Amino acid sequence: MYRRVVRVLPPWLAHALRAQGGPVPWSAVVRGALAAGPLLLVAVVAGRASVGVVAAVAAMLAGINDRPGSRRASVRRLGVPALAGAVGMLAGTYAGQGTGALVLTLLLTGLGLVAGGVSAVGPVASAAGTQLLVGCAVGAGMPLPEPGWQRALAFLVGAGWLLALRLALPTPGALAGDYRFDGEREAVADVYDAVGGLLDAVGTAQAAARRSALTAALDHAQDALTGPRLRRHASSATERRLHAQYAAALPLAEAATALAWAGKGLCGRASAGPRRLAAAVRGNTDAGPLPAPSRSMPALRALDDALLHAAEAFDHGEGGDLHTRRRTGKDLLRAVVGVGGREYGLRVALCFGAGVAVAQALRHAQWYGPHEHWYWLPATVVFLVKPDLGPLVSRVLCRAAGTVLGALAFAAFAAVLPRPGGLVALVALSGALIPVATRHFAAQTAVATVLVLALVMVGGEPQASASRIGETFLACAIVLVAGHLPMPGQRGGGVRARLAAAGGAALAYLAHVMSESDDRAARWALRREAYRTLAEARGAVARAAAELPALARHTEGADEVAGTLERLVDLTTACAVHLDDTGRLTPRHARRLAELVDELEAGAADSARVCGNCPSPPDAVPYAETAACRLRGRHQVRMAAMSDTTSTVRVKQRLIDMTAPA
């Protein structure tokens, strides 16, 4: 009944009611309980409560980023934002000392522009940008006796303590003596399970969703295995074995995708092999005998060959290429200063700067009363305005509801709990609840509000529930107004940038397959990049579609383009498998490829005709962008996904050559 109601609501409201599912992450709950609360207790006992407050805030922010995954990946996911938060704390402290309100506002607005642009690079960069701005606001607005360097050090200690717990404590289900690789092992096993799930769904309506689940599993495993290490290559026998098992899953995923495109139902025997391989990964055992599927068609023969290769890799695997994306400094800079990064940076800077300005005005307004803790307003704005964290209006609704719930709950606790012991226990309880509360932004906000209000009281300040509610509502109003103001350039640039990356990756993959190259490692790397960028584009499109209509209209038609690119990559995979087996495409493959390429090319041509008088922006490399165009709608997103027509001409000519009679 609940799901039926959510489906009939408008997208911007339905998104606010959705929550993530899954089992309770008990290991993260334990880490949360051992992080902020114990740090605060030690500081209170030592008579340095203010230091404990900063460390507990850092541990809370790190807890929000403490998601399931490998230990190696957690170093980057927790460590990089912690470093950025410490830098923000240091910069904010010294910027707020003796600086006028106008100068401080301009400084923090400029920092918001930089942090917003950097956030366009990816999830870790986005978390770093968030903590940079939050740390800067807290450093400038929270009156503490410690100098800036001590505050930054306390911030690093708080986040570092949670990271140390993540690295040291085993998680449930880890193998004895091998708990260091439990996250990697589970991620690789999930890939084989996802292959089995896709094979079970071949010929059914669930095939597309299972293929998306396979992409997500491959992305997760790739990230889990490619975190920082002491040496470039896998440094232990266990790690090399996991690399080999991951690499062996790639041809299986390719064959399963080809079978899904063919659409002919399979017997249950086809998925039995990948399921057994998943169990072997989890148990760290040999593959054993695997049931061989029928070899009646090219994709089934590819599946059988991939199972044989996997069995050998499980028994004698000594490592394998992870086919990770290689992003140069130039690529990262292009993401920051490109159309998506510019729009992202301007939106964050405008809202963050407006929050600082309003907070400074209230701070100096005689009618408002004492307002030393003005950091709450701009810090709240940061959590609301980040475009990659969810639709703006959904986050505003959840933030408002969560703050009211959390403030009222804390007011009740504060009336009965002893001080400071009861408040320290409340901080520990809130830290334990954060990993569960991250499934919904309103719940996360409620728990974080309780934790922060408890920290404020431990630091010697009076109960502040009422002021926090009022300032949160003010922050929500600022974001709703500033987030919908007209901005320079074309709105929806972030979505178009993602579609441009997905279109480029899809066409590069198609061109490699059409070249009939024998370099399968390069092919799998291109395939992985194509599906990964498509998943990122799909996520950006879904978030944009759940905005209010005033913002959602700027990305109209983006979902159609993403769907076309997705079908093109699926078909390219089927063509690659068929070419491996026969060396020639069937008329059906060639016809469908030509149709999809023509569909993308026609969309780009329509955009060129509609926007022919608009100048091309300087960052449209290598794909045609229309960021300078004031026209809105599907023309821009189609143009962003398509490269120049010369590449498509070459692809179509190659199709003619490959399907011509011998």
Residue range 507-523, pLDDT digits in tens: 899 989 988 788 888 89
Neighbour-count burial of 146, counting CB atoms closer than 10 A to its CB (0-12 exposed, 13-18 middle, 19+ buried): middle
Give yes or no: residues 550 and 610 share one domain: yes
Give yes or no: residues 514 and 636 share one domain: yes
Q: How many CB atoms lie within 10 A of CB 480?
A: 15
Residues 286-299 have a mean pLDDT of 82
Residue 229 vs residue 64, higher pLDDT? 64
Give the pLDDT band of residue 631 (cuts 50, 70, 90). Answer: very low
What pLDDT shows up at residue 626? 32
Percent over 90 (pLDDT), the chain: 38
The answer to whether residue 389 scores a pLDDT higher than 80 is no
Mean pLDDT of the chain: 82
Give yes or no: residues 474 and 351 share one domain: yes
What pLDDT shows up at residue 430? 94
Residues 606-632 have a mean pLDDT of 36
The answer to whether residue 628 scores a pLDDT higher than 50 is no
Give yes or no: residues 341 and 427 share one domain: yes
Distance CA 398, CA 481 (A): 17
pLDDT tens figures, 19-49: 887 788 888 999 999 999 999 999 999 989 9
Give yes or no: residues 283 and 134 share one domain: no
Tell me the whole-structure pTM to 2 decimals: 0.84
Residues 529-550 have a mean pLDDT of 88
Give yes or no: residues 476 and 335 share one domain: yes
Task: Please give the structure tokens belonging to residue 569.
Answer: 């990559």
What pLDDT shows up at residue 150? 93
Give yes or no: residues 385 and 497 share one domain: no
> Which residue type does 443 have?
A
Give yes or no: residues 390 and 413 share one domain: yes
Q: What is the DSSP letter of 617?
A: P
Q: Which domain does 640 fall in, by range?
A: 493-659
**Structural domains counted in the chain:** 3
What pLDDT shows up at residue 136? 94
pLDDT tens figures, 234-249: 457 778 888 889 999 9
Percent over 70 (pLDDT), the chain: 84
pLDDT tens figures, 145-165: 889 899 999 999 999 999 999
The answer to whether residue 297 scores a pLDDT higher than 50 is yes
- 209 with 176: CB under 8 angstroms? no
Say how far residue 475 (Cα) sits from the centre of its chain.
24
Give yes or no: residues 389 and 448 share one domain: yes
Residues 351-362 have a mean pLDDT of 91
Residue at a domain's end among 482, 503, 521: 482
Lowest mean pLDDT among 27-36, 94-103, 395-404: 94-103
Give yes or no: residues 378 and 289 share one domain: no
Residues 552-563 have a mean pLDDT of 84
Distance CA 377, CA 47 (A): 29
Residues 384-398 have a mean pLDDT of 84
Distance CA 466, CA 598 (A): 60
What pLDDT shows up at residue 625? 35
Give yes or no: residues 163 and 268 share one domain: no
Q: What is the DSSP letter of 518?
A: S
The answer to whether residue 343 scores a pLDDT higher than 90 is no
